[in-house]
Amino acid sequence: MTARTSTLCVALAALLAASPALADDNSVTIGMILPMTGPSASTGKQEKAGAELYLQQHGDTVAGKTIVLAVKDDTGAADVTKRLAQDLVANDHAAALMGFGLTPLALAAAPIATEAKVPEIVTAAATASITEKSPFIVRTSFTLPQASAPMAQWALNNGVKKVVTIVTDYGPGVDAEKWFGETFEKGGGTIVERIRAPLKNPDFAPFLQRVADDKPDAVFVFVPSGFGSVFMKQFVERGLDKAGVKLIGTGDVTDDDQLADIGDAALGAVTAHHYSAAHDSPENKAFVAAFEKANAGMRPNFMAVAAYDGMDLVYRALEKTKGDASGPALLAAMKGMSWTSPRGPVSIDPETRDIVQNIYVRKVEKTDGALYNVEFATIPDVKDPYKAGKH
């Protein structure tokens, strides 16, 4: 074969393989499944931007492998998530699955991760028990007990004695209610009332009126990101802020992405969470600046940082395995991994595969004309208390 014909053959082969060229030996596909449309689309938007920023900053080559990020839209429906996960594993030979905007979506992909022995990196859904559903699930977001228990501790230390809890009635809400309540009562506080608001009905007026009549020191709230705005507005509308009721909760209610929309009603709310765009570290300042530049001024929230860290985790694991992208090898490399994220020091607990991270207590304040969750206290290296209690 002459040099010429061989060149032709290569060119032809390249042409034929134009689309599956991505699946050559040297590429590693990360299948990212996110709700890009539907009610949770803001999660998908932040997550996608976070993952893409990481690719943009670190290039698509690591340990001799080319990283291909395939983002799929599951519209927030669990059956679609499952089908997409199957498709990514079987047809695209994805080395890792990532994303999962809501708890049911993360659970839907769990059996596929187990069967295919592919790591499922949960970068959003926050119900504590998710990581128990498959030995291949690793999480870079947070768990609700992880944020709720420190919130209770802070309330106890700051003269709060009577609390009413309001949570949205589904997995993460029940988690938040349980762990805040137990920790708070163990420390000598009183939960006056536990209110669960239905997921579908976003008018909080009757529930907040109950709070007004109970006259607690504080109301602890968990609502999914997106419902924070209506809750905050009605809290102020009912005059609860003036009545001296403190608003405390997990950081979902004062989500960085929604804070500008909520407006001044959010001022003074104290929340416990793992990430604030106002986190004071050089890593975070660089992250926020790069993120806002790449996304027309959109402020990153905890979803964006979790996706960014999810990508970081895959890169670090590939470096550790020297390019071995098989599921069990990647998983082994991820366990116990520790690094400095924009949110601060984080690590993957080798036993539970859940993230260990600092939880910050923050207060909504106005700095430079914009609202931010300003951190004022740090609880270092918090493990998920739900699983820590079992092990």
Residue 37 beta carbon to another protein: minimum distance, rounded to whole angstroms: 6
Residue 42 beta carbon to another protein: minimum distance, rounded to whole angstroms: 5
Among 59, 263, 336, 389, binds another protein (CB under 8 A): 263
The residue range among 151-159, 171-179, 206-214, 326-334 that interacts with another protein, by the rule CB under 8 A, is: 206-214
The four Cα atoms 191, 192, 198, 202 give a dihedral, to 10 degrees, of: -110
**Please, which residues bridge with residue 163 across strands?**
191, 218
Among 226, 300, 327, 385, binds another protein (CB under 8 A): 226
Answer for the pair 147, 180: CB distance below 8 angstroms, yes or no.
no
Could you write out the DSSP letters of every residue in 98-121?
Answer: EE--SHHHHHHHHHHHHHHT--EE
Residues 156-195 that bind another protein (CB under 8 A): 195
Cβ proximity to another protein: between 238 and 335 the closer is 238
The residue range among 55-63, 230-238, 304-312, 322-330 that interacts with another protein, by the rule CB under 8 A, is: 230-238
Q: Does 206 bind another protein (CB under 8 A)?
A: yes
Q: Does 350 bind another protein (CB under 8 A)?
A: no
Which tokens in the block code for residue 234?
């009605």
Residues 255, 260, 261, 265, CA torsion sign: positive
Q: Does 230 bind another protein (CB under 8 A)?
A: yes
Residue 232 beta carbon to another protein: minimum distance, rounded to whole angstroms: 10
Q: Name the 3-class secondary structure at 274.
A: coil
Among 159, 188, 198, 369, binds another protein (CB under 8 A): 198
Q: Does 77 bind another protein (CB under 8 A)?
A: no
Residue 48 beta carbon to another protein: minimum distance, rounded to whole angstroms: 13
Cβ proximity to another protein: between 41 and 55 the closer is 41
Cβ proximity to another protein: between 83 and 233 the closer is 233
The residue range among 8-16, 155-163, 207-215, 383-391 that interacts with another protein, by the rule CB under 8 A, is: 207-215
Q: Name the 3-class secondary structure at 158.
A: coil
Among 8, 17, 205, 370, binds another protein (CB under 8 A): 205
- Helix residue ranges, H only, the chain: 3-16, 41-58, 78-90, 103-116, 144-157, 171-186, 205-214, 228-237, 259-262, 282-294, 302-320, 327-334, 385-388
In sequence order, which residues have a C-beta less than 8 Å from that of residue 125 and are 6 or more positions away?
100, 101, 102, 103, 105, 106, 141, 172
Residue 209 beta carbon to another protein: minimum distance, rounded to whole angstroms: 6
Which tokens in the block code for residue 50?
């976070």
- Tokens 């504080």 identify what position? 218
By CB under 8 A, the count of residues binding another protein is 32
Among 124, 236, 277, 329, binds another protein (CB under 8 A): 236
Cβ atoms within 10 A of the Cβ of 182, count? 16
Residues 36-75 that bind another protein (CB under 8 A): 37-42
Residue 40 beta carbon to another protein: minimum distance, rounded to whole angstroms: 8
Cβ proximity to another protein: between 257 and 349 the closer is 257
Q: Name the 3-class secondary structure at 167.
A: strand
Please name which of 296, 284, 264 lies closest in space to residue 341, comparing C-alpha atoms: 284
- Helix residue ranges, H only, 158-301: 171-186, 205-214, 228-237, 259-262, 282-294
Cβ proximity to another protein: between 42 and 66 the closer is 42
Chain center to CA of 352? 17
Residues 2-31 that bind another protein (CB under 8 A): none
Residue 165 beta carbon to another protein: minimum distance, rounded to whole angstroms: 11
Cβ proximity to another protein: between 218 and 236 the closer is 236
The binding site for another protein (CB under 8 A) comprises 37-42, 195-198, 200-203, 205-207, 209-210, 212, 226-227, 229-231, 233, 236-239, 261, 263
